[in-house]
Chain A
């Protein structure tokens, strides 16, 4: 590997992303400037209370100068990031069992421990969000509701229609219930897997498959509801049938990048006997696949809303086309899709730690940007505003969850010892020639 050349290429790629991000935003800004009336029309709508989370009477909107709200929004952004890793790990386990997969056996413990971060750590991390939300520091609609299920926000029709879901009681009970269900499911899957380590009995596989069978339905519904309550409801007027899938797609992308990094790290340590170049390649391929899937989902959501131009939907993106949020949008377009897509196309780059190492950090950065893009415009409608809370919240949550994961990983066998598909997972025949060399260096 020619390192100077390699770094030059990486820098060139990043420069391209930067130029495209800012240049495109400039071009579009110039185009908008030519049609002041249209913009004024849009902006007028965007300035309505709906767009910024204020109710029809102008109260209840977030205050960007309130230090508690600054902390709350930063914390929520970081929380949605780490929740992505947990939720996607749960999905990884579910489909592993549903599809009777073999290739994923060596990395199953990585997923099982990550999913189990939901309890107690996920729960503990959720409590401040519930507290802040109930105190009216997060979701702008919360002060308009109370602990009953009856409509209390008749002044805001879009809130009144869903008052059964949008009130203090439902918010608290639903989130605690969903997190409790996830905790039970994650604990059960890991319990079956650890029990099979001892006796290798088929019954544990059968139990896991049965749980995965109905669990996938419960999972899809609970993820959708949780994401709606935690993140989408920051602007409760916005509705998109794709939103749950959108969060899921980004979560899988980041989580697969994380698995890739952990697997490469453990390849020469605890997982040495079971990780073959093909497993690395498989993880790289899934990372690539979800690069495309996320782009497909986000493009579809944006494109359909933009093309139909229904004001009840467009306000969400109109807000995110103001100030530096527009640059963030283009950063997601080029950085979340084009850069990883082009870099991951080749087999050898998927196997090269020199490419994939920076790519994992880039994926984390892009997913954090994506979460910021979803959460922060509500508090800072004029543009991106980074406070000290952002690195503090993110750093603290990642450190705690990372430490907890590592503690669990060290406490149990590093891979499912007697998994019925372990043997199959260790006889991968087809290994890309170019990739083999890269994987060994």
Chain B
């Protein structure tokens, strides 16, 4: 909704030729001082400073903390793959799944990671279409996070089938012509997930890579080692920064943004169908698709804040990822957290309104049954904690914001756990009731998925520009010929 006068990355000159101003007779006053917008790059930084600051992160030797962090993450990732090998060789019984809770941590983890994978494409595509210039400082890392989160998510539904070779070969998930005429169940939302997630992952990867091309060329041109120059040169696809290149780039970026936007909505809507198409009380509710999408954006932004706040501090990027960026992300958390809160309330309201005793019991059981602790953890983290962000003082306190962002991550995991486990563990027949308890394999497989995520993220900041150099430059005053400091008029540091 909010939109400033916009110049898309790299087309400042083009936009200039279409410039329209208010008629000269209309005198418009400047906004009051206290309502002026803060700049998106602080301290009037020059274009060279921006290039040095961002490219420097992956050009200079990594700081001392990087190797221990990488080894720890890679070790945790190794643990996950070992546990998956154990599961495949032994059977899904090593997890705590059993009747009536046939789904528990596996699908919880899947939905959790898919949700986190939403923020990147949302920031890149939806905010790009809405011309939200503040996205430029955070979109690259968020896009990377999307891809890594989708990789983490993809593991769980495949592995939870037990005999994964059936999932990947003709049978459960992949349609494959075969002599026995065995086809997947096309009416199952789990199969729709396969297509939705793989399409989303592919387009997100393309989007991320397209945006990287001009920056990879910058790294190529700055590279001092021939191996680095070769690889950056290879992946920058011969980019020279010519007008034709920029024109094609802008078109491709916009088309991918247009394609990605419905994908952002579709993926989590289809994930919500995994539950909502059923008749299980607590799962079958019509608000699930938009509620899941809002929840995914909520959790995605939570993770972006969890990662970006330390990254900003560790690489001294305060002038590029400013307090304004953090504040705006807090507001997104507040908005999406409120939508999620509306959905929680609506579910309870309709459980009462509908008059179905089963539906009402499912929700009472959520809040006051054996899993009450998970429900109230979810409410505390997702509904209550974002409301601290009504206060500017708290939005601008980065330590506090980081803590709340961690709460959001925890809360969104609990949300999926609550939806899945509390709806399943008490069936229509009390004789079928049960209580799900995770095994150590459940717990450490999930912990290990964070290892995979962090390993990929650490490699990303090591070798690729974690912030889009070209797009950040496009939102500086220098890129705006109408700004008092625009073009070559100002003195920049």
Contacts and interface: CB of A to CB of B under 8 A. Distances in A.
Give the interface centre of A228, A245, A430 by most chain B CB atoms within 10 Å: A430
B20 A241 contact: no
B1 A99 contact: yes
Given A158-B355, A276-B20, A300-B269, A241 B8 contact: no
Contacts of A304: 273, 276-277, 284-286, 288-289
B5 interface: yes
Interface in B1-23: 1-8, 15-16, 18-23
Contacts of B285: 241, 304
B143 interface: no
Contacts of A303: 277
B346 A241 contact: yes
B429 interface: no
B442 interface: no
Given A205-B35, A239-B353, A273-B23, A426 B1 contact: no
B28 A423 contact: yes
Contacts of A237: 355
A301 interface: yes
A312 interface: yes
A205 B34 CA distance: 11
Given A312-B356, A433-B18, A301 B5 contact: no
A102 B20 contact: no
Contact of A429 (B7, B265, B278, B289): B7
B390 interface: yes
B244 to A, nearest CB: 18
B1 A101 contact: yes
B290 interface: yes
B166 interface: no
A359 B287 CA distance: 29
B176 interface: no
Interface string B388-405: 001000000000000000
A148 interface: no
A305 B4 contact: no
Contacts of B32: 200-202, 420
B35 to A, nearest CB: 4
A356 B32 CA distance: 37
B287 A423 contact: no
A368 to B, nearest CB: 24
B277 A308 contact: yes
Interface string A365-381: 00000000000000000
Contacts of A278: 20
A273 B25 contact: yes
A98 B6 CA distance: 20
Given A99-B2, A277-B20, A161 B338 contact: no
A222 to B, nearest CB: 12
B22 A101 contact: no
Given A430-B5, A430-B18, 15 more contacts: A95-B1, A103-B3, A161-B353, A228-B353, A237-B355, A272-B23, A274-B22, A277-B20, A304-B273, A304-B286, A304-B289, A422-B28, A427-B21, A429-B16, A436-B18
Interface of B: 1-8, 15-16, 18-23, 25-26, 28-32, 34-35, 131, 262, 265, 269, 273, 276-279, 284-290, 335, 338, 342-343, 346-347, 349-350, 352-356, 390, 482
